[in-house]
Amino acid sequence: MAKLGMRSIRLLGFAPLRDSAQLATSLANIPGPPLHLCHGAAVVAVAQDEPRKPLLRRDRKALLSGLQTVQRRLEVACQAGPFLPMDPSAACCPPHLVASLLASGEVALSAVLADYGRLHQWEIVLRWSPETVVAEHRAEIATAVREPGAPGLADAIAMVLRSERACREALLIAALVPAVVAFAPGGATGSDGEVSLTVLSSPDRETAIESALQALDAAKLGDASLDMRGPLPPVSFAAVRLVATDQSEISTAWSRLELPTRISRTGLHQTWRQRAAAAHPDRYEAGEQVARAAVMADLTAAYHVLRDLIGPGSDEEVVLSEVLRRAGPRLVVPPPELWVTRPLLEAALL
């Protein structure tokens, strides 16, 4: 591994210290920017050099190459052992900060690694031909456009495609529910001819995912094809973010939420909900809704500034001066309650 210089580096993620030698061996032969391991007491941070000059958006080839290198290294890292990834959009910092970031976040990182470090993320993509769907529903579309007050031809086709996509999405989710730990927040993505789902699975259940996909009803899916991409560490579920908050942001957020002298994380959440509910645009006349939406957005932004700075325990109360001392760069791990979990999906499918 290369020595850390003064250039910017990209944090790729974290692994237990006991697995660092195996991880280094696994990553050593992957072409790309020089790699670095920063060792803490129980966790090792994995990083790579960033270009000295930021890549321009128009340099598409270089951008794609850089993203592919990061993805390949993440794929290898998660198969080498427990690994917790960084959010690629919030992962760059000066090299001299890595040790302090690791020291301050090591307890939380160790806990999340123990719970989720061995889980893998997969993207399941179902594709079909919209033209085939339209051809199969030609009579239905023709009947729809002849009815009084019926939509135009383009709208009728769009309705059929949306309906077909919703059916295929439901089939895909129902097939995957028994085999996965969680579905990524935000639900399925895709177009008229595609459904894409990001799922979390333990390595021993990945064969079960493949079997579930193979068992999908071919008669209902027609000419559809399936693609399973991965594995990756849980980037969409438990990615760590590098954030930096200055003291002025903290003070402004505290004032905007009109917080009392002392507040806990639970108290902060309750206060934000009360303030946001009072400012909700639906409570006001049409002429005031735009202004109230802006107020609500400001309250929510203030809540996000303070949420991760006010103690991890619901019973830990802090004063503003204590929170101000926590300003600066830090690592933030999102709570797993944000995930769309299998029990929730099972209830929705009943």
Helix or strand (DSSP H, E) at 323 = helix 320-324
Tell me whether residue 350 is in a domain: no
Q: Please count the residues of the chain.
A: 350
Tell me whether residue 90 is in a domain: yes
Domain match, 136 and 213 both: yes
Q: What is the pLDDT of residue 5?
A: 44
Q: Report yes or no: 1 and 24 within 8 Å, Cβ to Cβ.
A: yes
pLDDT tens, position by position, 79-111 = 999 999 999 888 999 999 999 999 988 988 998
Show which of 82, 116, 150 is a domain's final residue.
Answer: 116
Q: What is the pLDDT of residue 350?
A: 46
Domain match, 216 and 153 both: yes
pLDDT tens, position by position, 143-174 = 877 777 667 888 889 889 999 999 999 999 99
Q: What are phi and psi of 194, to 5 degrees?
A: -155, 140
Domain match, 145 and 164 both: yes
Domain match, 131 and 90 both: no
Burial of 72 (0-12, 13-18, 19+ CB in 10 A): middle
Instruction: Report d(CA 84, CA 120) in Å as an integer.
Output: 10
Domain match, 256 and 313 both: yes
Average pLDDT of span 304-325: 81
Tell me whether residue 1 is in a domain: no
CATH of the domain at 296: 1.10.287
**Residues near 339 by beta carbon (within 8 Å), at least 6 away in sequence:** 182, 183, 184, 185, 200, 237
Q: What is the pLDDT of residue 153?
A: 84
Domain match, 163 and 214 both: yes
In whole angstroms, what separates CA 150 from the centre of its chain? 41
Domain match, 101 and 130 both: no
Instruction: Report d(CA 24, CA 270) in Å as an integer.
Output: 45
Share of the chain above pLDDT 70, in %: 87
- Range of weakest confidence among 137-146, 230-239, 263-272: 137-146
pLDDT tens, position by position, 50-80 = 876 554 444 455 555 667 888 999 999 999 9
Q: What is the pLDDT of residue 3?
A: 45
Report which residue type is found at 307: R
Domain match, 124 and 197 both: yes
Per the structure, the complete domain to which residue 316 belongs is given by 247-326
Tell me whether residue 238 is in a domain: no
For residue 13, pLDDT beyond 80: yes
For residue 222, pLDDT beyond 70: yes
Show which of 53, 85, 116 is a domain's final residue.
Answer: 116
Domain match, 226 and 252 both: no
Contacts for 254-259: CB closer than 8 Å, 24+ residues apart: 254/302, 254/306, 254/320, 254/323, 256/298, 256/299, 256/302, 257/299, 257/302, 257/303, 257/306, 259/320
User: How is residue 309 annotated by DSSP?
Assistant: T
**Residues near 345 by beta carbon (within 8 Å), at least 6 away in sequence:** 173, 177, 183
Q: What is the pLDDT of residue 61?
A: 58
Share of the chain above pLDDT 90, in %: 43
HSE toward the beta carbon, residue 287, CA cutoff 13 A:
0
For residue 313, pLDDT beyond 60: no
CATH of the domain at 152: 3.30.70
User: How is residue 336 annotated by DSSP?
Assistant: G
Give the orientation angle of helix 153-176 with respect to helix 138-146, to 10 degrees.
130
Give the orientation angle of helix 153-176 with respect to helix 342-349, to 10 degrees.
120
Tell me whether residue 344 is in a domain: no
Q: What is the pLDDT of residue 166?
A: 92
Domain match, 18 and 77 both: yes
**Residues near 234 by beta carbon (within 8 Å), at least 6 away in sequence:** 84, 85, 116, 119, 120, 121, 200
Tell me whether residue 331 is in a domain: no
In this prediction, residue 349 has a pLDDT band, given cuts at 50, 70 and 90, of very low
Count structural domains, the chain: 3
Q: What is the pLDDT of residue 119?
A: 92
Q: What is the pLDDT of residue 125?
A: 95
pLDDT tens, position by position, 241-269 = 998 888 999 999 999 999 999 998 889 98
Tell me whether residue 24 is in a domain: yes
DSSP letters of 54-88?
PPPTT-HHHHHHHHHHHHHHHHHHHHHS--EEBPT
Q: Report yes or no: 74 and 233 within 8 Å, Cβ to Cβ.
A: yes
Domain match, 86 and 148 both: no
Tell me whether residue 94 is in a domain: yes
For residue 341, pLDDT beyond 90: no
Domain match, 49 and 73 both: yes
Coil, helix or strand at residue 4: coil
